Amino acid sequence: MGKAIHDLVQEHEKIIRVLEIIKKVQENDKISEEALLKFYLELADFIEIYADKCHHGKEEHNLYHTLAPLSGETGKEMIIKLLDEHVQARNLTKLIRSAALVGNISEATSAAAKYRNLLIDHITRENEEMFPTIEKRITLEQEEVIHGHFLAVEKRTLGEGGVARIDGIIKGWETDLLS
Ligand SMILES: [Fe+2]
Ligand SMILES: [Fe+2]
């Protein structure tokens, strides 16, 4: 696996860890309404900054286009579907935030569950179909160049020390809500 795809696969693992937290939080009836609303607002921030601006940003601006000229109609269809899912994810994130801001827990819960289902399917397809297709068609040197662009996206969207901050937020949810 080249550097660029490895980077995205690692981000997928982090996002999947958060999808698992969503499931466990929703199954836990001991969490107060106040803590739940706080979680959904923090979750909307995490998705917006990390999963969307950083991770989807890397895919949309630096990766998906490498597939288009290389794999014909199938590749184009795959990209259109993946981009559409990024849009659906953005809409669900807005819904999580707006529901949590007005204290509507059931709507925030429903939007977060939909987001979780959407992303599980999306990430599985990227890992199992899209990434192998790309890796068959570009060289490790090309991936190295793409990885350089990824680092720039990361710096722009997360800032200095951004990854450590994100890790701290995830750990905080696991400690405060689920232990
Ligand atoms: Fe994606
Ligand atoms: Fe992805």
- The CATH number linked to 67 is 1.20.120.520
Which residues are in the CB-under-5-Å shell of ion ligand 1?
A: 59
42-63 residue pLDDT tens: 999 999 999 999 999 999 999 8
- Which residue shows structure tokens 């068959």? 136
In angstroms, the CA 34 to CA 37 distance is: 5
Taking the centre of ligand 2 as the mean of its atom positions, its distance from the CA of residue 38, in whole angstroms, is 26
Taking the centre of ligand 1 as the mean of its atom positions, its distance from the CA of residue 134, in whole angstroms, is 14
In angstroms, the CA 14 to CA 18 distance is: 7
Q: Is the pLDDT of residue 80 over 60?
A: yes
Q: How many domains, the chain?
A: 1
Domain that holds residue 49: 3-178
Q: Is the pLDDT of residue 70 over 60?
A: no
pLDDT band of residue 116 (cuts 50, 70, 90) is very high
Q: What pLDDT, on the 0 to 100 scale, is given for residue 71? A: 62
Q: Dihedral angle at the C-alpha atoms of 95, 178, 51, 59, nearest 10 degrees?
A: -130
The first and second tokens of residue 65, run together, are 């286009």
The first and second tokens of residue 160, run together, are 């200095």
Give the residue, 34 or 137, on which the prediction is more confident.
34
